[in-house]
Chains A and B, each alone.
Chain A
Amino acid sequence: MAHDADPDLPHRRHPRFTPMTLVRLAVALLAFMWAVPLGWMGLMSITPDAEIFSSGILPSEVSLAHYRSAWTDIHMLGLLANSAIVSIAAIAGQVFLAAMAGYAFARLRFPGRNLIFGVLLITMMVPFEVLVIPLFLAIQKIPLLGGNDLFGNGGIGAVNSHFGLMLPNLITVYGVFLFRQMFLGFPRELEEASIVDGASRARFFWSILFPNAKPVVITMGMLAFMWSWNDFLWPLIIARDSDMFTVQIGLSSFNEQYGTRWGPLMAGSVLATVPVIGAFLLAQRWILGSFLRSGLKG
């Protein structure tokens, strides 16, 4: 229970209950309160309809009817599948593409480097809602897809397709930024040494740099999965038919015209959130694991 710090420092005897303990308790309580909404979500998902609006906290009986509703009413399996396809593609895209770009901006000199990076940073400041319509237009005009001719006219392009769904999530400026930050921190000597040894830049990147960036890669992968899985506005606009809907869209259909079906909504939300929490916990473990294995402090 002593200092986590330098073992050479003299150990101080800590009394049983310090002010620090109280503070820790307070923070633990706060953490509990923070997790309460999620707990409430889970609780409401098993509370029968009649008791959802009651002032009590615990339901008198546990009901799984909402899960059944959520599963069948909005065809949950299909939704989960779509979200999964799109999000896994997002992981691949972000991890590789953002890493490549990040490396280029961090380590390679070329004309226009700062300008291009600056422009990208500015685009990061605009809320997505604002870019949605022009983006839709761009996707709809992609040549040779969805019935489009060479100039992108005539058809619907990538609208209402998995490709259209995943496109905006394949790479983000944030990801490029993150990788760039990371690669900036790498010692230049490593790279120069490998080039002198005869390796091409590509080989250096894939064999040496990329594998050493494991923590960032895993973090980025998890973030990519999370952003794509949780995306709401884009799938809403690009998916036309229900068999293209993702999980988040499906959930919104419980908000009916004159009321909300809270029970199935909460059950559906639980089902929608579990994969992301799982991905997050997995990522955490991998990051910690990679620290241990490689001996890096991180």
Chain B
Amino acid sequence: MAPELTRREVLRIGAGAGLAGLLAACGVTGSSNTSSTAGATGSTTATPSTTGAGASTRELSLWIVDHNPAVQAALEDSIIPAFHDANPGYRVKLRFTGWDRFAEEVTTAFTGGVGPDIYQGGAVWVGQQVDRGWALPLSSYVGQAPGEWNWDDFFPGAKEDVTVDGEIYAIPYRVAPRTLWYRSDHLEEEGYTTPPSTWEDLREIANATVRREGGSITRQGFDTFLGGAPAWQGEMQTYWDFMHSAGGQFLSDDLSRCTLTEDAAVEALEFLTQLVLEDEVMPYPSFEDQGELSALELGLTAMGMMFELPDIRVRQYAPDQADFVHATLPLTHATQASHLYVNKYFVSSQTQDPEGSWLLLQHLTASQPLEAYSAAGGYLTPRASLGEADYLTENLKTVAQAGQFGVPYPRHANLLEMFRPFSENLDRCFRGQLTPLETMQETADAVDALL
């Protein structure tokens, strides 16, 4: 018959398991207080193991998402200790996390009221954070910052990106300006020694450098999508560059309607579709990445728009191609402009210590600490004065310079949602299913519905 399990035995087992669970629950509750870094992500306090905090020590929590081991070391070993030295009475609790889970973490933290004091945020975040009321207004703090901190040192586009209705809600710490990249070897083959500076130049060179064999393209003259972004956004990224340089806008200044149907915006799309569908300088979709490398580093396209990524990729994964991959300043059409991605620090509106949080934020974005942080990560800063910093390669210096011409996203809370019909319609446009004007009209209708 079935083995007898007496009640006593069962209780004992159950108690044992329950006790184990209880011990686990009470005992270990997360945050380490030693300065040990646990691999790629983790949480540490930057102060070496101190014996108990004084009653007046105030803790500030800082969530960092742009990092690598060198950055972590820079923060823990020099940047944060420097802050502690200059501001005794504060203790910074660092937390490193990743972009892939950052949205979930921030959202749940804030809805639960247990958010950090200062946190990094990405390109479309300002509109959302302000709309939700999670970002603390910072204009008054900026106004009172010491002279050498210098708000005017920041690129105009970067400053614009963090300002809503005249109020500053975040401080940029990193920018990724988009600009034109080209392969000098492809251009030289066709006798071009300088890269294009206008749309017409671009078109001319693209048509000259494209290679076809038996009716299909074997080497692109221009690539509208070199990766490095969520794939679903596709060609939209490059479109923004051309829209800016045509003087067009996605939304009206008061964010009340979609202005894609205006001439400048349509013109930008017409130019791109002409390149793709008439001149056929690239297939659609364009050549995809292979492993870490995009078509540019692989030598499969002569030109393309991108932020600083090609330089990093080519040096790390294809150093033999490094001599041929170059950046140049953005193209000029109605104006010289391209898109600017801005990453910024927010102060939480739920913080218990706004003054302390601002002090830390001010420190992190001051010239020297910011340079240390960016050098460790290979990031470009939003400060014009750091455009020639030593850690930058030639290409990166060019891209940094492009930051002056960078135009950021409009500060609307529903941007991500609006991008979706836009990228869908762009896809249909590049497949020849919609004319540029139709694309813009349909998109404007969809976007207006979301406003």
Contact = CB atoms under 8 A, between A and B. Distances in A.
A241 B40 contact: no
B114 A156 contact: yes
Interface in B2-21: 2-7, 10-11, 14, 17-18, 20-21
Interface residues of B, number: 49
Interface residues of A, number: 56
A48 to B, nearest CB: 13
Interface in B247-284: none
Interface string B276-297: 0000000000000011100000
Select the residue from A53, A214, A240 with max chain B CB neighbours within 10 A.
Answer: A240
Interface in A243-281: 243-245, 249, 252-253, 255-259
Contact of B24 (A162, A207, A256): A162
B2 A214 contact: yes
B189 interface: no
A203 B5 CA distance: 11
A241 B30 contact: yes
A73 B40 contact: yes
6 contacts: A162-B29, A166-B24, A241-B43, A242-B42, A256-B40, A258-B292
A160 B40 contact: no
A288 interface: no
A259 B292 contact: yes
B77 interface: no
Contacts of A92: 14, 17-18, 20-21
B100 interface: yes
A236 B100 CA distance: 10
Contacts of B28: 161-162, 243
A211 B30 contact: no
B101 interface: yes
A252 B32 contact: no
Nearest to B66: A257
Nearest to A199: B7
Contacts of A227: none
A252 B309 CA distance: 22
A253 B2 contact: no
A74 interface: yes
Interface string A53-90: 10000000000000000001111001000000100110
Given A85-B24, A96-B14, A214-B2, A133 B38 contact: no
A140 B26 CA distance: 15
B30 A161 contact: yes
B4 A258 contact: no
Given A146-B29, A240-B31, A210 B10 contact: yes
Given A206-B7, A241-B95, A252-B98, A133 B108 contact: yes
Majority-rule SS of A interface residues: helix
Contact of A207 (B6, B17, B26, B41): B6
A92 to B, nearest CB: 3
Top 7 nearest A-B pairs by Cβ distance? Answer: A163-B25, A92-B17, A242-B42, A160-B30, A241-B43, A242-B38, A162-B24
Majority-rule SS of B interface residues: mixed
Interface in A176-234: 202-203, 206-207, 210-212, 214, 233
A159 B31 CA distance: 11
B111 interface: yes
A285 B113 CA distance: 48
Interface in B100-121: 100-101, 104-105, 107-108, 111-114
Contacts, number: 142
Contacts of B41: 242, 245, 253
A132 interface: yes
Select the residue from A140, A239, A241 with max chain B CB neighbours within 10 A.
Answer: A241
A259 B289 CA distance: 10
Contacts of A253: 39-41, 98
Given A74-B40, A137-B112, A259-B292, A244 B30 contact: yes
Interface in A95-140: 96, 132-133, 136-137, 140
B105 to A, nearest CB: 7
Contacts of A52: 291
Contacts of B38: 74-75, 78, 242-243
A257 B108 contact: no
A133 B108 CA distance: 6
A158 interface: yes
Interface string B214-238: 0000000000000010000000000
Contacts of A72: 39
Contacts of B313: 258
A207 B292 contact: no
Contacts of A137: 111-112
A18 interface: no
Contacts of A242: 38-39, 41-43, 96
Interface string B30-56: 111000001111110000000000000
A97 B341 CA distance: 52
Contacts of A91: 17
B299 to A, nearest CB: 17
A211 B107 contact: no
Given A89-B20, A253-B39, A255-B98, 16 more contacts: A89-B21, A92-B20, A92-B21, A133-B108, A162-B24, A162-B28, A162-B29, A163-B21, A166-B24, A203-B7, A236-B104, A237-B108, A242-B96, A243-B31, A243-B42, A252-B98
Given A53-B290, A240-B31, A257-B99, A89 B107 contact: no
Contact of B5 (A146, A156, A158, A211): A211
Contacts of A206: 5, 7, 10-11
A260 to B, nearest CB: 9
Contacts of A21: none
B31 A160 contact: yes
Contacts of A207: 4-7, 10
B1 interface: yes
